[in-house]
Amino acid sequence: MSGDTKHTSNFSNKLDRRKFIGAAAATAGILLIKPELVRGTAANSAVRVGLLGCGGRGTEDATNLVDTGGARVVALADMFQDQLDKARAHFDQIQQAKGYSSLGTSQLFVGPNAYQQIAASKELDAMVIATPPYFHPHHLEAVVAAGKHVYLEKPVAVDVPGALKVIDIGKRAEGKLSLDVGFQIRDCPPFVELVRRIHNGALGKIVCGEAHYLTGYIDRPPWPDASPAERRLRNWIYDRALSGDIIVEQNIHVIDICNWILKAHPVKASATGGRQGRPQDGDVYGNYNAVFYYPDDVDITFSSTQFAKGWWDVTERFFGTKGTSQSPYTGPLGIWGDEPWQSAASPAKDKPETQAFSVTGSFTSNLEFADPEKKKAFVESITNGNFHNQAAKGAESALSCMMARTAAYTGREVTWDELMKTKEVWDPKIDLNKLR
C-alpha cells in the first residue's frame, strides 16, 4: 500500500490452518526445503513469500528475504495499483537474475480485498506484513489463521487492545508457525555482542541510561488528485491512528533495545511532546521527551525529533558501576570502563548519512548486517522447524511506547498497570471501499 515503511489492506478471512514444518539442507550455501514436507513445493525450491503492503519498507523486507538465497517472492498485495506495479517490476528484475520466473498475474492482488486473496493463496509458505500499523493485528490474525509463517513489521499495534490481541495470536501460533517481529537490531552482530557482554556483567549494576532518536522530517508526495482518505492512507506516517505516532512507529527501536538490555519493560513513564517544528502534515508529534522508570530504580531519559535539519543521531547509553555502554546506529559502539570492548565494525561518524534510512530502514555502519541476519534467521527457522515466536516481545515494546505516548498526551505520569487496563480502540474511520 502507500509508500514508505509499511502499507495497507484489510484482512479477516478464517482459513484452515495448515502445518508447514520444514527441514534444513544446505547445498552451495542455499537453504532448501524437503519437498515431501511442503505441499505443492517442488524439490529444491526456496520458501515462497508473499508481500502484503508494497511500500518502501515492505519491499526492503521482502528483498532481504530473497537475498538470503532461501526465499523467493511469489505474490504481492497492495491497496493501490501503482504500488503493486512498482513492486512487481522490482522483484521481477532481482529474481530473474537468480533464474526465477516473473511474478504471475494470478498472484497479484490489489484493492480492499487484496489481503483476503493473498492469504487464501495456496502458493505461499510465508508472508511479510508491511501495512500501516493500525492494520497489523487484523492482518496478523488472518495470516496466522491461514497457516502461514509471518514476518510482521513493527509496531505490532497502535493501541493497547491491538497489542493484547497480538499476544493472543502469538499463543495460537506457538509451536506451529514462525512469527517474527521487525526488530532487526536484535539480530545485528555488534548489538548482539554488546548486549551479551552487558548481560554477563560488563557494566556492573546498571544505574541509569539515556536514549534518543533524533531524525529529520520524512517527506511524502502531496497526492493532489487523491481523496482525503486516500491521501491519509498513502501518507499514513503523518496520521496518529494509522501509525501510532512517531514514538510508537519509529522511536520504538530504541525503547526495544532498552527493554532488551534491561530484560524488562518500564513500570511507569512521564513525558511531554508536541508538533512544534512540523509543517501542517497531519496530527503526529514532531518531538517527545520522556523518562522511563524501569525495575530496580533504573531511570532512562529519552528524546526524539522528526523535524531536525542537517543532522540525525540514534543512540542508547547505559551507565553502570563498572562501565558505560554506547550503541549508536553509526559511530563508536562498545563498552568503556573496567571491561572495555569496542566493535571493530564501528566507523567514526564523519558525515551525516542520508535521511532515507528512517524511511526504508536501509542502513550502513553498525546496522549493516541487521536486516540480512534477521531475515536469514527467519528463513532458517522455517526450514529447520525451530519456529520463532516474537509476538509477546513485540507487543511489550509497543506497549512501553504507548505508555509514554499516553503520558505526553495527558500531561501526567502513567503506570504499566494503568495502561494495561486501557480499553480505547483507535479508529482512523476510513472505509477502504469508498476511497473515491
Q: What is the pLDDT along the chain (436 residues), one digit of tens a residue?
A: 433 433 333 333 333 333 333 333 333 333 333 333 343 333 247 999 999 999 999 999 999 999 999 999 999 999 999 999 999 999 999 999 999 999 999 999 999 899 989 999 999 999 999 999 999 999 999 999 999 999 999 999 999 999 999 999 999 999 999 999 999 999 999 999 999 999 999 999 999 999 999 999 999 999 999 999 999 999 999 999 999 999 999 999 999 999 999 999 999 999 999 999 999 999 999 999 999 999 999 999 999 999 999 989 999 999 999 999 999 999 999 999 999 999 987 554 444 445 444 444 444 589 999 999 999 999 999 999 999 999 999 999 999 999 999 999 999 999 999 999 999 999 999 999 988 6
Q: What is the CA radius of gyration of the chain?
A: 21
- Determine the pLDDT at residue 8: 38
Mark whether 207 and 254 lie in a shared domain. Answer: yes
Boundary of a domain, candidates 121, 151, 184: 184
CB 254 within 8 A of CB 302: yes
**Same domain? 145 vs 258:** no
Q: How many domains does the chain have?
A: 2
Domain containing 318 equals: 186-379+393-420
Instruction: Mark whether 226 and 302 lie in a shared domain.
Output: yes
Answer yes or no: do 355 and 208 share one domain. Answer: yes
Do the domain assignments include residue 158? yes
**β-strand partners of 275:** none
Same domain, residue pair 326 and 225: yes
Please state, in angstroms and as integers, the Cα–Cα distance from residue 8 to each residue in 2, 58, 86, 111, 142, following that order: 7, 11, 15, 9, 14
Same domain for 282 and 416, yes or no, is yes
**Model's pTM, two decimal places?**
0.87
Cell matching residue 45: 525450491
The CATH number for 372's domain is 3.30.360.10
For residue 317, the model assigns a pLDDT of: 98
What is the DSSP secondary-structure string of 306-371? E--SS--EEEEEEEESSEEEE--SSS--EEEESS-EE-TT-----SPPPTTHHHH----GGGTTHH
Q: Are residues 142 and 202 in the same domain?
A: no
- Residue 427 lies inside a defined structural domain of this protein: no
The whole-number pLDDT of residue 198 equals: 98
DSSP state of 152: E
Tell me whether residue 10 is in a domain.
no
* Residue 7 is assigned to a structural domain of this protein: no
> What is the per-residue pLDDT for 59?
98
Residue 385 lies inside a defined structural domain of this protein:
no
Domain closes at, from 136, 165, 184: 184
Q: Are strands 108-110 and 126-129 parallel, antiparallel or unpaired?
A: unpaired
Is 85 a member of any domain? yes
Distance separating alpha carbons of residues 7 and 86, to the nearest angstrom: 14
Cα–Cα distance list, 222 to 59, 227, 231, 247, 257 (Å): 22, 11, 8, 24, 34
**Quick one: 148 and 190 in the same domain?**
no
Domain of residue 90, CATH code:
3.40.50.720
Q: What are phi and psi of 273, to 5 degrees?
A: 180, 175
Verify that 231 and 216 share a domain, yes or no.
yes
- Identify the domain boundary among 150, 165, 184: 184
For the chain, the distance separating the N- and C-terminal CA atoms, rounded to the nearest angstrom, is: 16
- Rounded Cα distance between 301 and 293, Å, is 9
Residues 212 and 127 in one domain: no
Q: What is the pLDDT of residue 365?
A: 85
Angle, alpha carbons 291-297-299 (nearest 5°)? 20
Specify the pLDDT at position 226. 95
Same domain, 195 and 179: no
In a domain, 433, yes or no: no
The answer to whether residues 238 and 355 belong to one domain is: yes
Whether 426 is in a domain gets the answer no
